[in-house]
Amino acid sequence: MSLITIFRWLKKLLHYDNKEEEQRPREEDEDCTSILADAASQQFSFPRKFSYDEIQAATSKFVRKHNPGNGKVAYFEGRLRSSGKRVVVKKVEASRRLSKEDFMEEVTKMSSIQHRNLVELQGFCLLRSSFFLVYSDYMYSRTPLDKLLFGNSDDALRWTSRLQIVVDVAKGLACLHSNNVLHLDLKSENVHLDSNFRAKISDFGFSSLAAEKTTMTVRGTPGYMAPEWLQMRVSEKTDVYSFGILVLEVVSGKKTIHYEKQMLRHLGTWAFQVAHRGRLFEMVDTKILPEVSSHSRQMKNLLKIGLWCIQADARIRPSMSSAVKMLEEGRSIIDPPLPPLPREDASIDMDFSLSVVMEMMQHRQDYGKKSSFFRK
């Protein structure tokens, strides 16, 4: 094989994922002009509208993926040529479930939400077949919470930092809910920390629900998903469940799906089992055990808040505004209800959240192909 042939083969291999983007025709949707005009007439503020050429140039033709992404959503690192600012571009394929009107409605709502604990939306681009959201460099230059909690670094997060992260996330989520927006995929990967360990939530949007209603679009990450997903009914309390799991991750340093005594466990079920034994401090990450004596009340309160948030009955869970109040007041939290213990001889933790995963793996092709969370 000649060197020229090898070069062409390598070039084709390296750019295979970007072929669709490079060959995409210039199909910027002119209809969005009328949508923007309607929004302006209603005095809505809008982030900047980018052209497809700007998005393509910023991402070097969609070469640098920010993370693997999945399905019809992908993320790309970029730098705006006009300003030199780093950004992360989220690409969403258009579908019957996400129309142009839906996209613009979400952009309108997201642009009106500004909070210190939410990653800022910089702009958007609208095509007939794809939508793009441009976020600030916070997603690019900051550290995701999961890397600090579950990475191999010996530099453990101190307790005060962990508590502040939880408070920041709670406030950001409460802000979304006060604007009738659900996140529906809150997890440690979507929490980004600065050098002072202050947190911002990313990847929200496309979930504006003024009240509880039926949805036919499954979102979320296995282990963080509330049991009501089985009935395809979501509300603010669905986010509260995910927040509760996040709280337990922060305190315990354990992943939501992990191995415990050679058995696959779900963090929620494990936490309830420990609570049944009346030994809450067994949940505390061994890396911060020396700090228990100084912060025992805060740790106990935070664990109880986490357990309140992951109640199977959504009606029992607190609202995010109530969770913020509990976190800030620092008063002793009453003991949460504890569900019946699962069978001790179970070979796998068939917690209600894992049941959701099994249901999706059996009936939904997109999720059925992704079982990596079962690997040790």
Q: Which CATH number is 303's domain given?
A: 1.10.510.10
- 11 found inside a domain: no
Cα-based distances in Å from 86 to 46, 83, 95, 123, 351: 20, 9, 29, 13, 41
Furthest C-alpha separation in the chain = 74
pTM (2 d.p.):
0.78
Do 165 and 255 have their domain in common?
Answer: yes
Do 224 and 82 have their domain in common?
Answer: no
Structural domain for 262, as ranges: 142-374
Q: What digits encode the pLDDT tens for the residues 229-260?
A: 888 888 999 999 999 999 999 999 999 987 77
- 16 found inside a domain: no
Residue 141's contacts (CB-CB under 8 Å, 6 or more residues apart) are 86
Catalytic residue among 29, 137, 168, 185: 185
Do 121 and 264 have their domain in common?
Answer: no
- 335 found inside a domain: yes
Q: What digits encode the pLDDT tens for the residues 194-206?
A: 888 999 998 886 6
Q: What digits encode the pLDDT tens for the residues 144-153?
A: 898 889 877 6
How much is the pLDDT for 274?
94
Do 307 and 202 have their domain in common?
Answer: yes
Residue 26: how many CB atoms within 10 A of its CB?
Answer: 8
Number of helical (H) and strand (E) elements in the chain, helices listed first: 14, 13
Q: What does DSSP assign to residue 62?
A: T
- Number of domains making up the chain: 2
Count the alpha carbons within 13 Å of 200 in the hemisphere toward its beta carbon.
Answer: 22
**Parallel/antiparallel/unpaired status of strands 121-126 and 48-49:** parallel
Sign of the four-CA dihedral 84, 90, 91, 94 = negative
Sign of the four-CA dihedral 239, 241, 243, 249 = negative
Look up 185 and say whether it is catalytic.
yes
Do 358 and 340 have their domain in common?
Answer: yes
Do 71 and 198 have their domain in common?
Answer: no
89 membership: H or E segment, kind and range: strand 86-93
CATH number at residue 78: 3.30.200.20
Do 267 and 315 have their domain in common?
Answer: yes
Do 119 and 165 have their domain in common?
Answer: no
Q: At what angle do helices 159-178 and 320-329 cross, to 10 degrees?
A: 150
Whether pLDDT at 335 is above 60: yes
